[in-house]
Structure 1
Amino acid sequence: MKKKQKNYNLILGSAIALFMLVFLLVGCFYTPYDPDAMNGVAKFAPPQGTHLFGCDHFGRDIFSRVMKGTGTTFLVAIATVALGGGIGIFIGAFTGYFGGWADEVLMRFNDAVFSFPHILLALVFISILGPGKYNVILALSVVFIPSFARITRGEFLAQREMDYVKSARLMGVSHLRIMFVHIFPNTLPAVLSMAAIGFNNAVLAEAGMSYLGIGVQPPDASLGRMLSEAQTYLMSAPWCVLFPGLAIILLALGFSLLSDGLLKKGGR
């Protein structure tokens, strides 16, 4: 009997994602210092017992700010995936199941939107809506819809002619029940993998836009904005850049490995 190979990407990705989730959840209820409190005496204090990650150019505790900033980035990413993914999944399920002219019209429009670079299209929406956390969520959600729609449509196209779907139709089961009770569970590996990829992309997009100053705005802590503020002090106080950058890397890496692991699990 062939021994099952361990899915190390899924294990490692889950561990990193869980660690970051616990880290940000703790930050929602407790931080060692007020993330926005300035202390002139502690300016550029290096990592030490009282300030684990050191302090920035305003004397703010970096550990507390990274905790809050990770929570902000996670909120933006998860809301983006929930909103954009939810709409995209519904469109993909509808077009993939029913087909016909609606499929042609919606998917041609979907392909037109998908042809634009995601970050460029998000920047266009931000220029119209203005900077801010909720506008970033709206902008990224719109550009993520086509990806979820394409993946879900492909899964539904593959499933709609299966015997179990034909049997459900003969039994008089409603279309909505067939779509979301019978077919949708069989698409979960691909959809969850796409959600993990979307989360990863949303983390990087939010950090990039906040770095440019058009994303999350003060007083909300943001990992991207922390990097932007600290770049001037890269040589004199590298810890100001190191820890926010490490938080972004861990968030993106964890969900990237998780996505790959889910794909491999679904392919077995």
Structure 2
Amino acid sequence: MKRNKEINFILGCIMVGIVICILLIGIFYTPYDPDQMDGLAKNMAPNLKHLFGTDNFGRDILSRVMAGSKITFLVAIFTVAIGAGIGTLVGAITGFYGGVLDEIIMRLNDALASFPSILLALVIVSVVDIGRFNLIFALGIVFIPSFARVIRSEFITLKEMDFVKNAKLMGASDFRIMFIHILPNTRKILRTSIMIGFNNAILAEAGMSYLGLGVQPPLSSLGRMLSEAQPYLFNAPWYALAPGFMIVFTVLGFSMLSDG
């Protein structure tokens, strides 16, 4: 069992490292302008000039995958930041104080968690309008309940530990006990939750953009590219292969890393 986790961790590090390298290279260099159209190179199969082929506008798919990955990852990062930040605060307060406050907040939390995440995000986006910033806002709200529940359970356990009781006897404030003494001891479960949340955020962005409710043209994202590639699955399968592989490779890498 331990050996398997070590292998998963090593493979996860390698895969995540490759993804990060692609992202860093994409920030400074792409083989072509991701939005450059070439009417003479529409739906061109992979070749030495265009390694992943071209799309229906003659745009280089490799360049668009590199550019789209940045958008997808930024959406995922900010989504997890909102969900983890607010969720951790909610979980810490409810887990530490308990009582009526815990009951009220956690029932609201359960109400949010009872909706399928994509369905709830669809409702929020339909109210506030489409676009990547509204998508981040919607997915951030959707991710709050899962982080709140995890942190709450950790706080309920840790607040009964001797080091917390000693801190109370020494006159430490509730704020100091919560965020200086208890919160650092949740880092292991929080780190794993963030990785899982990042995976879910990538898939959620891909799903929402695929439905046309996320990233909008002329910007590209992995989900947006999959949506644009759908009509050409039989005529130009390479159009969907590259962004699809990037999503699977990234999610699998982070999953193996979190498991390890």
TM-score w.r.t. structure 1 length? Answer: 0.93
Correspondence 1:49-68 to 2 at 5 A: 49-68=48-67
In structure 2, distance between residues paired with 1:29 and 1:73: 17
Shift of 1:211: 0.8
Aligned Cα root-mean-square deviation (Å): 1.4
In structure 2, distance between residues paired with 1:176 and 1:7: 37
Alpha-carbon distance change, 178 to 124 in structure 1, aligned in 2, over 3 angstroms: same
Deviations 1:124-166 (A, max 9, x none): 0010011100010000000110000000000011100100111
Shift of 1:24: 1.1
Specify the alignment match of 2:129 in structure 1. 130
In structure 2, distance between residues paired with 1:220 and 1:24: 16
In structure 1, distance between residues paired with 2:201 and 2:41: 33
In structure 2, distance between residues paired with 1:230 and 1:249: 16
Identity fraction in percent: 60
Q: 41-50 or 158-167, which moves further after superposition?
A: 41-50
Q: Which amino acid counterpart does residue 225 of structure 1 have in structure 2?
A: R
Specify the alignment match of 1:101 in structure 2. 100
Moved runs in structure 1, 4+ residues, more than 3 A? Answer: 3-6
Q: Which amino acid counterpart does residue 221 of structure 2 have in structure 1?
A: S
Q: Which amino acid counterpart does residue 111 of structure 1 have in structure 2?
A: D
Instruction: Report whether the alignment pairs 1:202 with 2:191.
Output: no
Specify the alignment match of 1:266 in structure 2. none
In structure 2, distance between residues paired with 1:135 and 1:251: 24
Q: Which amino acid counterpart does residue 160 of structure 1 have in structure 2?
A: K
Deviations 1:4-43 (A, max 9, x none): 6352222222221221112112111211111001001111
Q: 156-165 or 176-185, which moves further after superposition?
A: 176-185
In structure 1, distance between residues paired with 2:126 and 2:231: 26
Instruction: Report whether the alignment pairs 1:118 with 2:117.
Output: yes
Shift of 1:253: 1.2
Alpha-carbon distance change, 183 to 23 in structure 1, aligned in 2, over 3 angstroms: same
Specify the alignment match of 2:252 in structure 1. 253
Specify the alignment match of 2:224 in structure 1. 225
Specify the alignment match of 1:36 in structure 2. 35
Specify the alignment match of 2:151 in structure 1. 152
In structure 1, distance between residues paired with 2:203 and 2:19: 15
Q: Which amino acid counterpart does residue 10 of structure 2 have in structure 1?
A: I
Specify the alignment match of 2:70 in structure 1. 71
Specify the alignment match of 1:190 in structure 2. 189
Shift of 1:258: 2.1
Shift of 1:185: 1.5
Q: Which amino acid counterpart does residue 164 of structure 2 have in structure 1?
A: V
Gaps of 5+ in 2: none
In structure 1, distance between residues paired with 2:195 and 2:59: 32
Paired residue secondary structure (1:50): coil
Q: Which amino acid counterpart does residue 253 of structure 1 have in structure 2?
A: L
In structure 1, distance between residues paired with 2:191 and 2:25: 25
In structure 2, distance between residues paired with 1:166 and 1:111: 30
In structure 2, distance between residues paired with 1:19 and 1:158: 38
In structure 1, distance between residues paired with 2:15 and 2:232: 29
In structure 2, distance between residues paired with 1:66 and 1:193: 27
Q: 55-64 or 7-16, which moves further after superposition?
A: 7-16
